[in-house]
Structure 1
C-alpha cells in the first residue's frame, strides 16, 4: 500500500531537479493582476536560469491565506508548488493527524502528556506548549497549516509537483536544544518585559478572544508587522530566532534555487524577507550556495 506522500507524488526527500511536467513559458516580469500585487506575494526571477518564484507569505492560522494560495496556484499554474513542511508534517497534515484534538485536559492530563513527550525536559516543554497552542486555535475554528494543505491539494489539480522546502521538525528541535538551556526555556515563559518595548501589533495580540482571533491574525500579514515582531523577539531570544527563522530561510532558499521552471512557494510571513534577500544576493553577487544547516 503506497503511503499518502507517495500518492501525492512525494518521496521521503524534498523533490528538486529539472521540471518534468507541462511546457514552461518563461516570463520576464510578473503578470500584473490585483491578486499578484498584494503585499503578501513576492515575485522573484533568476537571470541565471530563468526560473521564477511566486513567494506567498502567510499567517499559519489564516483562512484568507489559504484562499489566496488557492487563487495564485490556479492563476499561475506552476510546475512546482513548494510548502514549508517536511515529509512527516506533510503526511500528518494531509491525513488530518497534524494536531489531533485531545479533548479538554486538566492539569493531570497535561502532566501525563509532558512525561510521555519525546526528548529531554526542554523538548518536552516545547512540544506540549505547541500542542496546547494549536488545540486552542482549532477550538476557535481556525485550522493551523490550512494554507499548506490547500497548496498541496491545488498542486494536484494543476498537475504541479509538490516540493517539501523545510528540514525535518526533529532537526529544528535538536537545534533548539543545542542553543537553549532549561533556564532559557523558563525565561521564555517568565521574563518580565517592558510594555513600551512591545510592538503595537503584539500588544493587540494580547487582546485576542475567540471572537476576534481571525481578524487579529490578519494584522500579522504585513511585512512591516512581521519585521517589528522579529526584531523584538531577536532582542529577547536571538538564538531562538536564528534557529526558527534565519536558518530555515537559508534551507528554503537553497531548495528553491535548485528548481527550474515556475514555482509557487508557500511559507510563513516571517521567512519572506530573508528568502527574498538571499535570492537577490545570489543573483547580484553570484553566491553559489548558502550554508545549509
Structure 2
C-alpha cells in the first residue's frame, strides 16, 4: 500500500508516524490497520475527543435524546448542524460501502489488539463549536448554516480516486485556501488551533513510538506545530462572551417601548397603531416561519402570540415556545430517532421526521420573529416620526 500519506518525524528522540486519512475512504481504514500492525507503536493517537469517542464506541443513543432539553439548552441549531454534517459524511460513505470515521474505529481496534495506549488527541468538539460560533458574527453564522444545510440536499457524488487525491498536500493547500476565502474566521478555531492541540497531545503521548491517525487536512499544520510547545489549557478555554449582543439585545426593546410610550402619551390612536403593527409583524412572520416548517396548528398560534413578547425580552425566543408545543403534540418516538440518519438525506425526510420537524419549527419561528422585529420596529419608528 502507498506510503505517500504517511509522515515520519523524530521529536526529542520520539518516533512519530502521522497517517493522513480521508474520513470516508476504505483505503484509509486499511492503511491504518496495516501501519499499526507493522509498526507496533507504544501509543495510538486518534483525531477524536471524549464525546465523539463515546458516540463511536457506545452508539449515538438517539433513544435517550430529550428533545425538550435540546430546546431548553438552546442547542436546536447546533443539533441541526450536527445532523447535516453527519448526513453528508454518511452519503459519501455509502458510496464506498464504509462507515464514516471507519479509520478512527480501526485505530481504536488496532490499538487494543497490540495493547497500545489509546490517546484521544482532539479538542472537545463543543469547545471548537463555541469558538467558531462566537467568532464569525451574524453574517458568518447565516452563511455557515446555509452552506451546511445545503450540503444535505446536494446530489453531487465523488469518485474514490478524487477522494484519495484529497490526501495529497497540493489538494489540501488549495482546499484550505478556498475555505479561508469563504470563512476566514473559521480557519483559526477549526484548523489552526486544533493543529496546535493535536500536535501537543501527540508529542505528549507515552512511549518511544507513536502512530497518529488524522484527517489529511491537519497533517501539514501538525508537522509545523509539533516543533513548538503549546498550552493545552489555553486552547481548551471557552472564549468570553461578547457584551455587544447583550447591549444590542436590550437597547432595541427599550428603544421600541420608549417610542410607543411617548407616542401613546401624545396620541393614543397613533400609539395603538404602533402596538398593532409590532404585534402583527412579529406574530405573523414568526407564525409563517412555523408554517413553513409544517408546525402543528397550536405551535403556529404559539409563535404568533409569543413573538411580539419575546422580541422585547433578549433571553427568550418565540421558537423555543413554538418548539415546546410542537414537541408536546408531535413528540418524536424511538423510530424517529432511529430513522434520523436516513431521513436527513432528503428534503421530504427532513420535514417528515418529527425530530427535525421540531428543530425546524424552533429555527424558522425565530427567523420569522427576527425579521418581524426589524420590519415592525421600522414601522413603529415611522409612526413615531409621523406623529411628531
TM-score, structure 2 as length reference: 0.52
Asked if 1:233 is matched to 2:179, the reply is yes
1-structure distance, mates of 2:72, 2:94: 22
Aligned to 1:42: 7
Aligned to 1:63: 26
Asked if 1:129 is matched to 2:75, the reply is no
* C-alpha deviation, 1:123, in angstroms: 2.7
Aligned to 2:141: 185
Asked if 1:155 is matched to 2:111, the reply is yes
Helix, strand or coil at the partner of 1:179: coil
2-structure distance, mates of 1:94, 1:121: 24
* C-alpha deviation, 1:121, in angstroms: 6.0
Question: Which range moves more in the overlay, 152-161 or 235-244?
Answer: 235-244
Q: 1:166 aligns with which of 111, 117, 122?
A: 122
2-structure distance, mates of 1:214, 1:118: 40
Helix, strand or coil at the partner of 1:85: coil
* C-alpha deviation, 1:249, in angstroms: 0.3
Q: 1:265 aligns with which of 188, 212, 216?
A: 212
| CA spacing shift, 1:45–1:171, aligned 2, 3 Å | same
Aligned to 1:252: 198
* C-alpha deviation, 1:116, in angstroms: 5.2
Between Structure 1 and Structure 2, the one with more helix by share is 2
Equivalences, count: 222
What stretches of structure 2 of length at least 5 have no aligned partner? 148-153, 236-388
2-structure distance, mates of 1:269, 1:147: 12
2-structure distance, mates of 1:178, 1:256: 28
1-structure distance, mates of 2:218, 2:72: 28
Aligned to 1:6: none
* C-alpha deviation, 1:207, in angstroms: 8.3
Q: CA RMSD in A?
A: 2.8
1-structure distance, mates of 2:5, 2:72: 36
2-structure distance, mates of 1:144, 1:118: 28
Helix, strand or coil at the partner of 2:17: strand
2-structure distance, mates of 1:225, 1:117: 42
Aligned to 2:307: none
Flag the structure with larger Rg: 2
Matched-pair contact (CA < 8 Å) for 1:117–1:127: no
Matched-pair contact (CA < 8 Å) for 2:24–2:89: no
Aligned to 2:224: 277
Aligned to 1:196: none
Aligned to 2:58: 95
Q: Deviations over 1:172-209 (max 9, x none)?
A: 11112211334213223668xxxxxxxxxxxxxx9843
Asked if 1:289 is matched to 2:236, the reply is no
Matched-pair contact (CA < 8 Å) for 1:123–1:177: no
1-structure distance, mates of 2:107, 2:73: 30
2-structure distance, mates of 1:124, 1:163: 26
Helix, strand or coil at the partner of 2:100: coil
Matched-pair contact (CA < 8 Å) for 1:41–1:55: yes
Structure with more relative contact order (C-alpha pairs < 8 Å, separation 6 or more): 1
Helix, strand or coil at the partner of 1:127: helix
* C-alpha deviation, 1:65, in angstroms: 0.4
Matched-pair contact (CA < 8 Å) for 2:197–2:230: no
Aligned to 2:367: none
